Amino acid sequence: MIKLFLDASVLFAAAYSAKGTARDLIVLALNNRLITIASDLVLEEARRNLSYNYPEKAAILDILLDQLYLTIVANPTKAQVLAAAEYTALKDAPIIAAAQSAEVDHLVTYDRKHLLEPKIVAEKSGLSIVTPDMIVKLFGGDK
């Protein structure tokens, strides 16, 4: 089974909309087709962004998280974050560092500007950084 580190953008999207590949990915996880991992920082960011932008959707995130077997990894050390900050934005360095320490198969995100597009992030981190639709397609989804 593949291990995925979920970025806050994926959890946000899954809570925001009942349709789309972020929710499809969560359904795959609920059906024990993959292993999902995040950090406390990811959960805090997803909750904060939902509560601020779409407060009516914040409860949906909690419902999804209650149903989902999500492994929570320890937040990275300062040294790990600083190492990741050498090739990614400081705000994203804790995400990269946590995904690295979790030894996942893929970091799943919608953040094209800071994580997906700058190829140096994947190269230097050693992570496979993908969007939810790539994972859904891998499992035979039609999106």
Q: 38-89 pLDDT, tens per residue?
A: 999 999 999 999 999 999 999 999 999 999 999 999 999 999 999 999 999 9
Per-residue pLDDT of 6-34, as tens digits, reads 999 999 999 999 999 999 999 999 999 89
pTM: 0.94
Amino acid identity at 128: S
d(CA 74, CA 101): 9
Average pLDDT over residues 86-98: 97
Q: Tokens 């981190």 — which residue? A: 125
d(CA 92, CA 120): 13
For 11, the token pair is: 């959890």
- Three-point CA angle 113, 102, 39, nearest 5°: 65
> Residue 43 in contact with residue 81, Cβ under 8 Å?
no
Domains of the chain listed by start with CATH number: 3-138 (3.40.50.1010)
Q: Taking each helix axis from N to C terminus, what angle separates 8-16 and 21-30, rounded to the nearest 10 degrees?
A: 100
The conformational region for residue 80 under phi > 0 = left, psi -120 to 50 = alpha, else beta, is alpha
